[in-house]
């Protein structure tokens, strides 16, 4: 399925995520719980030696050199080299009748860790992540014992260092897997796959395929589809292929196709939201115009004859969902607007006067603020197409043009501010928790 919305995370974005992720991983590894160690070994001419290592405390775990890189067709790879750790603890040894004990310091140097992360999606369309491979190698372990008999310590130094190396190598990967499943996976699950916008509509941001790693970016294809909460139905047009431009300078790119915006029009039309009523009380005071039959009778004399000096109501509705076009110059649409005029009779009932079907030229401007796509509309001239009058004798061309001018004024002063107020609230972008965008640039492409 083609996406209506695409998110691209570049190497620059991964580098930033790496700065924060390594701090979390250092904190997790510094909390490693190393088990007590005990054992026996034989020394020629001495006999059996028994030792116990206990109260192990990992004082630090420093990941000095690390990076996150893209692995095409696999996912992500975290590489760590020249890391080091420091461990404190107590020791106790027994050789025949000789017993001794003390403390020790252990320095683990040149730790190399390689972690492969596999990205996917679950049945609900949320992203998933898991460790597909983890390897740890430690090339240098040095232990310093504190106690009375120096010659005793050297007898089992090599055994202790070797045991520590094996124990730590296994524990590091165990904690990495635990950290990915306990920290990273729940965090990715905070990505909203459905977002309720208002009482009428929501957005479906579920993944249509697992994330794709390439040599330069990590691309995530999302449904990117608005839906009506009350009348959810299949969109009657398919999403076309969406290819982001080859830019990779920014950390993250969001691509929204015309399908994304057009499903918004379809959803709100299905929800009955594209119907507006205008009465005289809604006309701004600085507009010298009243919605009365006496006002309109100046150019449609029939109105004053049939309904003298009565208040009027206009009902504006879209005969079909508006279809938006995106080009290098911006966004535009040409909705067909039905304008039904009524006379308000003394008993408050409505008498239909005329119906105009007009085509309007609308341009749209969008921006991103506080993680939301916001926008505004500007209405241009009404087209001459499909202008007709019902319930009255047919209108002449000058009468139609005059009505068009009046409707343009009313739309610009009443309808447009209401629509723009809603668009200024915006629609949320698909962002996990605690993510904020900065240095935002909006561009339009064909």
User: Any idea what the CATH number is for the domain that residue 420 is in?
Assistant: 3.15.20.10
Backbone angles phi, psi at 322, to 5 degrees: -65, 145
In this structure, what are the phi and psi dihedrals at residue 240, rounded to the nearest 5 degrees?
-85, 165
Q: Which range (39-48, 265-274, 344-353) has the least confidence? A: 39-48
What distance in Å separates the CA atoms of residue 125 and residue 254, rounded to the nearest whole number?
18
pLDDT at 60 over 60: yes
pLDDT range class, residue 286, cuts 50, 70, 90: confident
Helix (H, G, I), strand (E, B) or coil at 111: strand
CB-side exposure of 204: number of CA atoms within 13 Å?
21
Q: Spell out the long-range contacts of 139-142 with Cβ–Cβ below 8 A and sequence spacing 24 or more.
A: 139/109, 139/110, 139/112, 140/108, 140/109, 140/110, 141/106, 141/107, 141/108, 141/109, 141/165, 142/106, 142/107, 142/109
pLDDT of residue 8 exceeding 90, the answer is: yes
Contacts of 31 (CB under 8 A, 6+ apart): 58, 175
Give residue 172's pLDDT: 87
Same domain, 293 and 158: no
| Mean pLDDT confidence for 57-68 | 86
- Please say which residue of 142, 166, 189 terminates a domain: 189
The answer to whether residue 312 is domain-embedded is yes
Whether 69 maps to a domain, the answer reads: yes
277 falls within a domain: yes
Domain check: are 297 and 239 in the same one? yes
Maximum C-alpha span of the chain = 128
Least confident of 307-316, 344-353, 358-367: 358-367
- The answer to whether residues 126 and 227 belong to one domain is no
CB 296: neighbour CB atoms within 10 A?
24
When comparing pLDDT for 309 and 47, which is higher? 309
Treating both helix axes as pointing N-terminal to C-terminal, what angle do 11-29 and 150-179 enclose, rounded to 10 degrees? Answer: 130
φ/ψ of residue 166, rounded to 5 = -65, -40
Question: What is the mean predicted confidence (pLDDT) over 360-364?
Answer: 85
- pLDDT band for 4, please (50, 70, 90 cuts): very high
CB 323 within 8 A of CB 333: yes
Residue 335 belongs to some domain of the structure? yes
Question: Are residues 96 and 135 located together in one domain of the fold?
Answer: yes
Mean pLDDT to the nearest integer, 88-110: 85
Instruction: Give the pLDDT confidence score for residue 79 in this predicted structure.
Output: 93
pTM exceeding 0.85: no
Question: Do 158 and 281 belong together in one domain?
Answer: no
435 assigned to some structural domain? no
The chain-wide mean pLDDT, for the chain, equals 86
Indicate the DSSP class of residue 292.
Answer: B
- Stretch (H or E) spanning 83: strand 75-95
pLDDT digits (tens, 9 = 90+) for 120-170: 999 999 999 999 999 999 988 888 888 776 666 666 777 778 888 888 888
Query: How many residues in the chain?
Result: 446
Please say if the pLDDT value at position 389 is more than 60: no
Structure tokens at 94: 């027994």
Q: For position 393, what pLDDT does the model report? A: 55
Across 173-187, 298-312, 374-388, the highest mean pLDDT is recorded for 173-187
The pLDDT of 187-191, averaged and rounded, is 92
**Do residue 160 and residue 206 come from a single domain?**
no
Q: 150: number of CA atoms within 13 Å, CB side? A: 1
Does 246 share its domain with 385?
Answer: yes
CB 424 within 8 A of CB 418: no
Q: Is residue 445 part of a domain?
A: no
Do 210 and 184 share a structural domain?
no
CB-side exposure of 395: number of CA atoms within 13 Å?
26
Q: Are 223 and 77 found together in one domain?
A: no
pLDDT value at 428 more than 60: yes
Mean pLDDT calculated for residue range 87-92: 88
- Judged against a pLDDT cut of 80, whether residue 42 lies above it is answered with no
Q: How confident is the model at residue 258 (pLDDT cuts 50, 70, 90)?
A: very high
CB 293 within 8 A of CB 310: yes
Confidence grade of residue 388 (pLDDT, cut at 50, 70, 90): very low
In a domain, 420, yes or no: yes
Quick one: 176 and 208 in the same domain? Answer: no
CB-side neighbour CA atoms (13 Å) of 218: 24
Residue % of the chain over a pLDDT of 90: 39
At residue 250 the predicted structure's pLDDT band, cuts being 50, 70 and 90, is very high
Structure tokens at 20: 């924060």
Q: How far is CA 435 from the centre of its chain?
A: 9
Same-domain status, 210 and 309? yes
DSSP assignment letter at 232:
-
- Identify the residue with better confidence: 240 or 51: 240
CB atoms within 10 A of CB 402: 16
Q: Are residues 216 and 166 part of one domain? A: no
Confidence of residue 219 (pLDDT cuts 50, 70, 90): very high
- Asked which of 169, 189, 209 is the last residue of a domain, the reply is 189
Which of 189, 210, 238 represents a domain boundary (last residue)? 189
Segments forming the whole domain that contains residue 215: 194-428
Which letter does DSSP use for residue 200 in this model? Answer: S
**What is residue 57's predicted lDDT score, i.e. its pLDDT?**
86
Q: What are phi and psi of 282, to 5 degrees?
A: -90, -10
Q: How far apart are CA 436 and CA 319, in angstroms?
A: 39
pLDDT > 90? residue 116: yes
CATH number of 117's domain: 3.15.10.10
Determine the Cα–Cα distance for residues 244 and 258; give it in Å rounded to an integer. 13
User: Is 4 a domain residue?
Assistant: no
Share of the chain above pLDDT 70, in %: 94
- How many domains in the chain? 2
Q: State the Cα–Cα distance between residues 69 and 77, nearest whole angstrom.
A: 5
Instruction: Please give the Cα distance from 258 to 446 (Å, whole number).
Output: 10
Give mean pLDDT, residues 345-363.
86
């Amino acid at each position: 399925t083609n996406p209506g919305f695409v998110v691209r995370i570049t190497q620059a974005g991964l580098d930033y995520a790496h700065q924060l992720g390594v701090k979390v991983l250092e904190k997790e590894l510094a909390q490693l719980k190393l088990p007590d160690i005990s054992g026996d070994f034989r020394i020629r001419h001495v006999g059996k030696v028994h030792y116990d290592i206990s109260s192990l405390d990992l004082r630090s775990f420093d990941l000095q050199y690390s990076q996150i890189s893209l692995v095409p067709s696999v996912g992500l790879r975290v590489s760590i080299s020249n890391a080091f750790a420091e461990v404190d603890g107590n020791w106790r040894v027994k050789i025949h009748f000789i017993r001794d004990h003390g403390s020790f310091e252990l320095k683990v140097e040149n730790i190399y860790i390689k972690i492969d992360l596999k990205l996917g999606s679950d049945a609900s369309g949320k992203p998933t992540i898991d460790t597909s491979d983890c390897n740890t190698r430690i090339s240098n372990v040095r232990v310093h014992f504190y106690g009375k008999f120096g010659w005793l310590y050297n007898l089992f130094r090599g055994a202790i260092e070797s045991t520590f190396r094996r124990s730590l190598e296994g524990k590091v990967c165990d904690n990495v897997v635990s950290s990915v499943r306990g920290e990273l996976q729940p965090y990715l699950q905070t990505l909203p796959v459905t977002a309720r916008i208002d009482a009428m509509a929501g957005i479906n941001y579920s993944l249509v395929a697992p994330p794709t790693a390439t040599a330069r970016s990590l691309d995530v294809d999302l449904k990117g589809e608005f839906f009506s909460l009350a009348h959810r139905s299949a969109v009657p047009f398919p999403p076309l292929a969406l290819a982001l431009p080859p830019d990779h300078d920014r950390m993250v790119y969001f691509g929204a196709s015309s399908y994304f915006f057009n499903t918004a029009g379809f959803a709100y039309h299905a929800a009955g939201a594209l119907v507006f009523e205008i009465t005289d009380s809604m006309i701004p005071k600085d507009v010298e115009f009243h919605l009365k039959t006496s006002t309109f009778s100046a150019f449609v004399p029939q109105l004053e004859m049939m309904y003298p000096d009565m208040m009027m109501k206009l009902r504006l509705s879209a005969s079909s969902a508006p279809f938006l076009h995106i080009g290098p110059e911006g966004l535009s649409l040409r909705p067909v607007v039905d304008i039904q005029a009524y006379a308000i009779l003394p008993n408050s009932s409505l008498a239909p006067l005329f119906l105009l079907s007009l085509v309007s030229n609308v341009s749209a401007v969008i921006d991103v603020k506080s993680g939301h796509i916001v926008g505004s509309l500007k209405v241009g001239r009404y087209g001459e197409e499909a202008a007709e009058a019902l319930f009255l004798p047919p209108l002449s061309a000058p009468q139609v043009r005059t009505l068009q001018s009046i409707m343009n004024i009313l739309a610009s002063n009443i309808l447009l501010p209401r629509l723009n107020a809603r668009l200024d609230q915006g629609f949320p972008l698909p962002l996990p928790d605690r993510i904020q965008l900065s240095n935002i640039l909006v561009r339009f492409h064909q």
